[in-house]
Amino acid sequence: MRTLIITAFMSVDGVMEAPGGEEGYRNAGWTYRDIPFDEAAYEIKGREQDEATALLLGRRSYEAFSPVWPEMTEDFARYNDLPKYVVSTTLTDDDLVDNWGPTIILRSVEDVARLKETDGGPILVHGSATLGHSLSEAGLVDRYHLLVFPLLLGAGRRLFGAADVDAIPLVLTEHEAYGNGVQKMVFDVARKEDD
C-alpha cells in the first residue's frame, strides 16, 4: 500500500490558504511576507521532492499550480516529471496542461483508495484543503508534513475539516523549531492495526 502524505504550510490557527501569495485571499503570501526566511525550515520540502513518486491535487490546487510550477524548473524540477492525479468531478482531459508531465483525473475518494493499492512509493498532496478533508475523513491519510508558522490568520481555508468524526490519533515522528518561529512537525496517523 502506498503512503499518502499531506504536506502543508499552516498558521497556528490551522489556516493553509494562499501561503505563497495566490490572489483572492486577504493574507496572501503570509509565509514570506510576515516571517523572516530561514532556509533550514524548508529542508523537508527538498526531501519530499526526492521521495515522492506522485502528486495528488484537488481541482482548485491543480488550476493554481499547473500554470506556474512547470516554469519553475529550479524549484520544482522533479515534481514536473512526476505523475499527477487530480481529483475532480468537473475537469476533463481538455482542461489539463500538456507541459506538466502525465496527469490522470480521478473522480472520487474511492478512486484515491484504489490508487493507494497500486505499486509505487509515496503520494504527496500539496494544497488541496477540500480534498485533504475528504481524504482524512475517509481514513486515507497516512502522514502529515506540517510547517507551522507563528501567525494567527483568522479566516481562511483550514488544513483540518470540521466534520464530526472519531478522534484520529497521531504519532509525532519528527519535530524541529527554527529561529524564525516556524516549527516542523511530522505526524504518522496511528492505525488500529498499529497498536
CATH class of the domain whose range is 4-194: alpha beta
pLDDT in tens, 129-184: 999 999 999 999 999 999 999 999 999 999 999 999 899 999 999 999 999 999 99
State the cell numbers at 140: 486515507
- Is residue 80 within 8 A of residue 97, CB to CB? The reply is no
CA-to-CA dists, residue 53 to 37, 68, 96, 119, 170, angstroms: 28, 20, 20, 10, 24
pTM over 0.85: yes
